Amino acid sequence: MDKEKFDPRQIMLERNYEYHHAYNETPPVVGFHQHSFYEIFFFLSGDVDYIIEGKTYALRPGDILLTSCSDIHRPDIRPGKPYERIVIWLEENFFDHLKEFCGEDLSAGFRDAALKDYRLIRPDSATFSLLKQLCAKISQAKCSSEVGSGTLAGVYLTEFLVHICRAYYNPPGLIKNDITENKKINQLIAYINTNLASELTLDQLSSRFYTSKYHLSRQFRQFTGLSLYQYIVKKRLILAHNLLRAGHLATEACFASGFSDYSNFLKVFKREFGRTPKECLQK
């Protein structure tokens, strides 16, 4: 399989899906980010913990992570081992098109993973080998100029997704041993994500969860890698971005996502997404 250099971009340039097989001898620096598409992260080698929405997953070769369109995540990559992974990006409406064609909804695993806040898949050795073979076929078909190669790549990708779904619903019993989390922080994150348009101050949250402000702030950063303020702002920006994509005006998206100052909203939105809300509306 052809391997690529690390590309820090977090936006899709191709229609429907993108396939990337990346390899690094020196760990790349990857900050916390989110994107408006689904991501399948297929880990092949390295010494990596992956932080997603306050949970840290200690990865083993063959592990797969599913992230959805609003998940804040980042790999913690330590030096000493080559870092190799396959990353597949799927447009938000990819599964809708696939369902129209094949009659099955293969996005169920993504939705269930987000609902349960549990993104890790650890396939058995036979499934791991099969998934690697399918990735090789996807890569070969995408690089080919023969008639029907694009169709073949799509067929192999669909087969890959089927086996991903099957592996998700048949997890090994010991997989939870490699997940670091905190029950109270999980509850706090769930509360924030369902109340983004409401007031979310440190005083209000510490009172609601019966914890001192200092302890809450320290634990939140420990388990998420972000300050409470950074996390809330990022989540509100994701919500605003989704509202804009759904056709809402910039002012509507601003206040509906919990921002109280429009000028500040414009500034942080441009810094986060690299374009203004108006430019998002024009896409």
Weakest-pLDDT range from 62-71, 174-183, 207-216: 174-183
Better pLDDT: 132 or 178: 132
Q: Does the pLDDT at position 5 exceed 80?
A: no
Distances (CA, A) of 175 to 78, 115, 128, 191, 273: 21, 18, 15, 26, 35
Which residues is 50 bridged to in the sheet? 57, 75
268-281 residue pLDDT tens = 999 988 889 988 87
CATH of domain 17-178: 2.60.120.280
Q: Which amino acid is at 88?
A: I
* Residue 77 token pair: 């990559």
Give the whole-angstrom CA distance, residue 158 versus residue 272.
32
In the chain, the DSSP E strands lie at: 17-24, 37-45, 47-52, 55-58, 64-67, 73-78, 83-91, 120-121, 179-180
205-258 residue pLDDT tens = 999 998 999 999 999 999 999 999 999 999 999 999 989 988 899 999 999 999
Q: Does the pLDDT at position 8 exceed 80?
A: no
Q: Does the pLDDT at position 162 exceed 60?
A: yes
Q: Does the pLDDT at position 177 exceed 80?
A: no
Domain ranges of the chain: 17-178, 182-281
Pairing of the two strands 179-180 and 55-58: antiparallel
Give the whole-angstrom CA distance, residue 155 versus residue 149.
10
The set of residues, in sequence order, having a beta carbon less than 8 Å from that of 80 and lying 6+ positions away, is 47
The set of residues, in sequence order, having a beta carbon less than 8 Å from that of 31 and lying 6+ positions away, is 74
Q: What is the mean pLDDT of residues 104-133?
A: 88
pLDDT for res 9: 75
Contact between residue 114 and residue 68 where contact means Cβ atoms under 8 Å apart: yes
Residue 16: phi and psi, rounded to 5, are: 70, -60
Q: Does the pLDDT at position 51 exceed 90?
A: yes
For domain 182-281, give the CATH superfamily: Homeodomain-like (1.10.10.60)
Q: Which amino acid is at 261?
A: D
In 3-state terms, what secondary structure has residue 44? strand
Tokens 């809708």 label which residue?
A: 96
Tokens 């690390």 label which residue?
A: 6
First to last CA, the chain: 34
pLDDT for res 1: 55
The pLDDT mean for the chain works out to: 91
Weakest-pLDDT range from 105-109, 129-133, 169-173, 231-235: 169-173
Q: Does the pLDDT at position 283 exceed 60?
A: no
pLDDT for res 173: 63
Q: What is the mean pLDDT of residues 30-39?
A: 90
Q: Which is nearest to 226 in space by CA: 197, 194, 188?
A: 188
pLDDT for res 78: 95
Q: Considering the chain, what percentage of its residues have pLDDT values greater than 70?
A: 96
Which residues is 48 bridged to in the sheet? 77
Q: pLDDT band for position 160 (50/70/90)?
A: very high
Q: What is the DSSP letter of 257?
A: T
